[in-house]
């Protein structure tokens, strides 16, 4: 039974071997360098049942990274307010996030653009890859158009990169990083009749889940202002045969996104704790993706494999919970009021 967990213990062993191959330097086309300094872990306890979690924001500045982004440097003819620059650049193009940094003086380091400061240079960035795939030619063309508009609006000049080369880099990045995209997923099954969506949500809200920015997805936040979402629950909906006004929840899946949180916060144990609470509260049972019934004990070997996976990730810039991992392997967010 353990071998058939959706996460796939056997598949993960294969992934570990493949990731080790790439991290060992046998792929010179993508240079994955170690982190310059370790991530400082922040232990964040799970949200207690019935408590209102601290609101989470994702507005913190991520430093640009030339290994992850297409970067375009813009030279200003005269100092330009950060406020204007921030207005000119949209947050997204297609499914890819955009970023901006600036230099107050040419000999300074790139830094976050703040509205009340003036800058001599700007650097505009677009992520080459995320969970929606590699950047497309359409997205890249629109990015260059936006960069041109940005430069014209502030009477500046820019240094556009080679489009063909950037698309190739994005494709190679996609081939490599798909091997890092790992989640643990289990089914939550009712022991009797299917739950209505309203009952499912009510019980999950009592545990500490919140509505997300996607339909049919609830997220489990941690008590940390900028913590990403590593645990989420999703389901499919179907109309009840007996009463068409009642929406039934089908294929309820609880997921743990390995890439979102550092290992020091022990998020997999939080995941197991939430599984245990849902089983007890909703008189439920758990199963793998194929529907084979499991126990909590069946999930314990997965935790050991995750630790080995963390070891390999820590040798790269994609250490779980790092800025690089969180930017590339984007997750759900809490629904905004």
Q: Could you report the per-residue pLDDT of 118-156, keeping only the tens digit for each?
A: 999 999 999 999 998 999 999 999 999 999 999 999 999
CATH number of the domain located at residue range(s) 69-177 in this protein: 3.30.1400.10
Ranges of beta strands (E only) in 48-89 are 69-81
- Domain 2-57+181-328 sits in CATH at 3.30.1400.10
Q: What SS3 state is found at 109?
A: coil
Give the separation between CA 207 and CA 210, rounded to whole angstroms. Answer: 9
Tokens (6 digits) for 131: 């969970």
pLDDT of residue 274: 94
Q: Where in the chain is the domain with CATH 3.30.1400.10?
A: 2-57+181-328, 69-177
CA 94, 35, 257 angle in degrees (round to 5)? 50
Nearest 5°: phi and psi at 239?
Answer: -80, 135
Q: What is the pLDDT of residue 245?
A: 72
Element housing 294 (H / E): strand 293-294
- Of 318, 226, 305, which Cα lies nearest the Cα of 39? 318
Q: Is 168 helix (H, G, I), strand (E, B) or coil?
A: helix
* Whole-number pLDDT of residue 333: 76
The pLDDT value recorded for residue 39 is 25
How many helices and strands, by DSSP H and E, does the chain display? 8, 15
For the chain, give the number of residues. Answer: 337
The reported pTM is 0.74
Which pLDDT score is estimated for 21?
A: 32
Name beta bridge partners: 253: 187, 234
Segments of the chain with pLDDT less than 50: 2-59
- DSSP class of 322: S
> What 3-state DSSP class applies to 130?
strand
Q: What is the pLDDT of residue 159?
A: 87
State the DSSP string of 92-122. Answer: EETTEEEEEEEESSTTSPPEE--TT-EEEEE
């Amino acid at each position: 039974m353990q071998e058939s967990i959706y996460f796939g213990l056997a598949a993960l062993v294969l992934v570990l071997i493949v990731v080790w191959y790439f991290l060992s330097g046998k792929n010179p086309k993508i240079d994955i360098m170690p982190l310059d300094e370790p991530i400082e872990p922040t232990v964040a306890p799970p949200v207690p049942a019935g408590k209102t979690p601290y609101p989470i924001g994702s507005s913190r500045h991520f430093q640009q990274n030339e290994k992850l982004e297409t970067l375009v440097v813009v030279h200003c003819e005269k100092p330009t307010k950060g406020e204007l620059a921030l207005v000119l650049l949209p947050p997204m193009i297609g499914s890819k996030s955009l970023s901006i940094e600036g230099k107050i003086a040419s000999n300074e380091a790139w830094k976050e653009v703040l509205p009340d400061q003036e800058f001599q240079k700007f650097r505009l960035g677009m992520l080459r890859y995320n969970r929606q795939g590699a950047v497309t030619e359409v997205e890249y063309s629109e990015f260059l158009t936006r960069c041109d508009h940005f430069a014209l609006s502030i009477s500046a000049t820019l240094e556009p990169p080679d489009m063909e080369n950037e698309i190739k880099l994005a494709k190679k990045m996609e081939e490599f990083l798909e091997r890092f995209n790992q989640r643990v997923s289990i089914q939550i099954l009712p022991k009797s009749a299917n739950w209505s969506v309203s009952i499912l949500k009510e019980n999950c809200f009592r545990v500490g889940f919140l509505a997300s920015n996607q339909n049919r997805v609830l997220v489990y936040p941690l008590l940390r202002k900028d913590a990403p979402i590593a645990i989420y629950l999703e389901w499919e909906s179907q109309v009840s045969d007996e009463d068409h006004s009642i929406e039934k929840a089908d294929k309820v899946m609880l997921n743990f996104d390995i890439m979102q949180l550092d290992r020091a916060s022990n998020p997999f144990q939080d995941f197991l704790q939430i599984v245990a609470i849902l089983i007890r509260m909703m008189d439920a049972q758990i199963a793998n993706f194929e529907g084979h019934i499991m126990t909590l004990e069946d999930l314990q070997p997965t935790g050991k494999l995750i630790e080995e996976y963390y070891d390999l990730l820590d040798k790269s810039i994609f250490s779980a919970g790092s800025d690089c991992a969180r930017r590339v392997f984007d997750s759900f967010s809490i629904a905004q009021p």
